[in-house]
Amino acid sequence: MPGVAPAVVGVAAVALAAGVYRVLHGGHALFPDGAAGWSFAILTGLVVVHLVALGRDRWWGGTGSGAALTLAILLLYGWVPSVLVSLAVVTLVGAARLHRWRQALVHGASDILAVGGAALTLGLFQVSASVEDPWTPADWDAYAVPELVGAATVYLLLSRALLWCCFASPAADLVGCARTALLRQGLVVVALLGISPLIVVVGVHMPLVLPLFAVPLIALDSTLWIARARAEEQLRDPLTGLPNRQWLMQRARSALGEARRAETRTALLLIDLDRFRSVNDTLGHPAGDRLLLQIADRLRTVLPRGAEAARLGGDEFAVLLPRVDSTTSAQRVARHVVGALGSPLDLDGLTLVLEASAGVAVFPEHAQEAEGLLRRADVAMYEAKRDRSGVEVYEATRDGNTPDRLGLLADLRRALDAGEVELHYQPKVGFDGRVLGLEALVRWTHPDRGRVPPDEFIAIAETSGLMPRLTEYVLETALAQVARWRAAGLTVPVAVNVSPRDVRSPGFAGAVAARLARHGVPPRALQLEITEHVLLEEPQRAADTLAALVGHGVRMSLDDFGTGYSSLVHLRRLPVGELKIDRSFVARLAVDPEDAEIVRCTVDLAHSLGLQVVAEGVEDDETWERLRDLRCDAVQGWLVAAAMPPAEATAWLRSRGAGPAEPRALPAAPLRGADQPAL
Poorest-confidence range of 158-162, 275-279, 407-411? 275-279
Residue 171 reports pLDDT greater than 60: no
Instruction: Answer yes or no: are the C-beta atoms of 525 and 494 closer than 8 Å.
Output: yes
Residue 667 reports pLDDT greater than 60: no
CA distance 413 to 532: 28
Residue 547 reports pLDDT greater than 60: yes
Predicted local distance difference test score (pLDDT) of residue 626:
92
CA distance 293 to 500: 33
**355 pLDDT tier (thresholds 50, 70, 90):** confident
Predicted local distance difference test score (pLDDT) of residue 643:
93
For the chain, what is the total number of helices (H) and then of strands (E)?
A: 24, 16
Instruction: Answer yes or no: are the C-beta atoms of 247 and 309 closer than 8 Å.
Output: no
Predicted local distance difference test score (pLDDT) of residue 672:
29
DSSP 664: G
DSSP 170: T
Backbone angles phi, psi at 76, to 5 degrees: -85, -45
Poorest-confidence range of 189-203, 433-447, 466-480, 543-557? 189-203
**What average pLDDT does the segment 3-18 reach?**
88
Residue 568's CB: how many other CB atoms inside 10 A?
A: 9
CA distance 471 to 464: 13
**What average pLDDT does the segment 47-54 reach?**
79
Give the amino acid at 306.
G
User: Which stretch, 280-284, 311-315, 599-603, has highest mean pLDDT?
Assistant: 599-603
Closest CA to 573 of 537, 603, 534: 534
Predicted local distance difference test score (pLDDT) of residue 563:
60
Q: How do residues 424-481 score in pLDDT, each as one tens digit?
A: 999 999 998 899 999 999 999 988 888 988 888 887 787 777 888 999 999 999 999 9
Residue 305 reports pLDDT greater than 70: yes
DSSP 3-state of 615:
strand
Handedness of CA 123, 125, 126, 130 (dihedral sign): negative
Q: How do residues 390-417 score in pLDDT, each as one tens digit?
A: 899 998 766 756 666 778 888 888 999 8
Residue 197 reports pLDDT greater than 80: yes
| pTM for the structure as a whole | 0.51
Predicted local distance difference test score (pLDDT) of residue 679:
38
Residue 631 reports pLDDT greater than 50: yes
CA atoms within 13 A on the CB side of 673: 3
- Paired residues of 440 in beta bridges: 425, 496
Predicted local distance difference test score (pLDDT) of residue 549:
93
* Enclosing H/E stretch for 154: helix 144-167
Measured between its terminal Cα atoms, the distance across the chain in Å is: 58
Instruction: Answer yes or no: are the C-beta atoms of 429 and 436 closer than 8 Å.
Output: yes
Residue 608 reports pLDDT greater than 60: yes
CA distance 439 to 254: 53
**What average pLDDT does the segment 2-13 reach?**
84
Residue 124's CB: how many other CB atoms inside 10 A?
A: 10
Ranges of H-type helices in 419-519: 454-464, 467-487, 500-504, 508-519
Instruction: For residue 432, give every residue at least 6 positions away whose Cβ sits within 8 Å of its Cβ, in sequence order, or none.
Output: none
Give the pairing of strands 578-581 and 526-530.
unpaired
Instruction: For residue 101, give every residue at least 6 positions away whose Cβ sits within 8 Å of its Cβ, in sequence order, or none.
Output: 94, 95
Predicted local distance difference test score (pLDDT) of residue 50:
81
Residues in the chain: 679
Residue 176 reports pLDDT greater than 60: no
Closest CA to 577 of 638, 624, 526: 526
Residue 569 reports pLDDT greater than 70: no
CA distance 101 to 85: 18
Predicted local distance difference test score (pLDDT) of residue 633:
94
**536 pLDDT tier (thresholds 50, 70, 90):** low
Phi/psi-derived region of residue 559, left when phi > 0, alpha when psi is between -120 and 50, beta in every other case: beta
> 301 to each of 134, 385, 450, how far by Cα in Å?
60, 24, 52
Q: How do residues 497-535 score in pLDDT, each as one tens digit?
A: 998 888 888 889 999 999 999 999 999 999 999 887 776
CA distance 166 to 432: 84
Residue 53 reports pLDDT greater than 90: no
Peptide bond into 364 cis (omega under 30): yes
Predicted local distance difference test score (pLDDT) of residue 678:
37
Instruction: Answer yes or no: are the C-beta atoms of 177 and 168 closer than 8 Å.
Output: yes
Higher pLDDT, 283 or 492: 492
CA distance 53 to 386: 56
* Enclosing H/E stretch for 572: helix 568-573
Q: What angle do CA 664, 530, 587 make, to 5 degrees?
A: 35
Predicted local distance difference test score (pLDDT) of residue 485:
94
Instruction: Answer yes or no: are the C-beta atoms of 313 and 248 closer than 8 Å.
Output: no
**670 pLDDT tier (thresholds 50, 70, 90):** very low
Poorest-confidence range of 315-329, 372-386, 458-472? 458-472
Predicted local distance difference test score (pLDDT) of residue 8:
87
**635 pLDDT tier (thresholds 50, 70, 90):** very high
Q: How do residues 78-125 score in pLDDT, each as one tens digit?
A: 989 999 888 888 777 766 665 566 777 888 888 899 999 999 999 998
Poorest-confidence range of 72-86, 478-492, 560-574, 614-628? 560-574
**Considering the chain, what percentage of its residues have pLDDT values greater than 90?**
31
**What average pLDDT does the segment 564-575 reach?**
62
DSSP 3-state of 478:
helix
Closest CA to 576 of 560, 598, 599: 560
Predicted local distance difference test score (pLDDT) of residue 187:
63
